[in-house]
Chain A
Amino acid sequence: MNPFRTHRGRLAPLDRVNVDTDQIIPKQFLKRIERTGFGQFLFYDWRFDTGGKRSAGFVLDEPRYQGASILIAGKNFGCGSSREHAVWALADFGFRAVISSSFADIFANNSTKNGFLAVRLSEAEAAELMRRSRECDDYQLTIDLERCEVRDDQGFRAQFPIDEFVRHCLLNGLDDIGLTLQHEAEIAAYEALHPVPQALHSPRA
């Protein structure tokens, strides 16, 4: 996993609440067996018409938000399906982080496994950033994971909460599986006490 320390980039506003993972990456693209290449399908049904032509007016396609690497959206971002493809699509499109006042649990979990940051701010702070990203041209934001801080060049500054261990893994790009396997002795001891039930080996006919 790539470490995440500090990132500065253009902010793009998606002013909708309850953006579900079916919108982030529609189901027709989940049949791929790779982890890469999902960015072209991000928000597909909002960005493209049924013929595959670019629809007019979707915010990420406005010239002023080209190259944006931070997304800001309404509350309960990433709700619904557990598909990690949603995070893969956002990251592959070029985003490093998304800001919202709340995230669905599974989406937030999936983000951390991909070096992608789900930044939770208060509703008022998120609304302020949404406003600035619309009113200022080339609105740049810095997300500083070492200080757990979001800031801009015009004096905006806000702290965000994050689990200390998750932060540690993100800062250092640590592989979760490797960390758990450091506890091999404890896992083996647990398994010795809790063997696989007989019925799992020999089900009824």
Chain B
Amino acid sequence: MIRSLAQRKKMKVRLSYLALVPFLVFFMFPLYWMLITSFKTDTEITSLKGIPLIIQSKPTLAHYKKIFFKEKLPLWFKNSFIITGLVTLITMLISISAAYALTRMRFFGSQPLGIGTFLTYLVPPTLLFIPFYKVVGTLGLLNTKWSLLFIYPTATVPFCTWILIGYFSAIPRQLDEAAFVDGASYFQMLTRVFLPVATPGLIAATMFAFTVSWANFLYPLAYIYRHDEQVLTAGIYTSLIKGDVYFWGELMAAALVASVPVVVLFAFLMDYYIAGLTQGTIK
């Protein structure tokens, strides 16, 4: 059968969607599992006759009611938001300045510094949390959520700086020079030219900083014991697993709710993330 070019193109698109199906199933399955489990009654979850993939008896909101009204989920949410927001802000302030300086100002040791910055990111947290414990203790921040403000940036700043260095160095130097001649200071060049042009990079870095701070588990688990000071990740874990009893329904409900902000963030910013803004600068 002879097909027109347009038909062939359509076929190709359909085929590529088809190829995505296995990945979709693979990645969505855990979420689906969480979702249905969170609506099952405890009896059904623990029943040996239950079928894990579907809800057989009447769905219930009991688990959600429990985590919102009996557990401290709203408080942890608040804590997570405060910490994540501040960490993201601190990270971006430091990373933007660092990346700008490292890409555009030539000074003694600027090159090794750039590489060194990235290398620090490669040191695993499991190696760091013991010395950090000492640091946090000395600062008197042990057992408070504020300890995380000092700890999270050690992971986010190097990586975000690295991302931004990539975006900033892709900005043609002639653009700086044009801005210089036009009368911009270094700071104005950053705010009026670099940041707008590197918006996709800023968004990528922000998303990274947000996700890392939001999802971090080890540090709050190690430094915070009071439930009032806890953030979502460690809070859910420490309060919904009592000894060897797992409150599966509540765990799944809480985990699902906790992942919503990240999903929302990605859904809104994905387009910006992908869009290239540098077209048309040159030639």
Q: A and B: real partners?
A: no
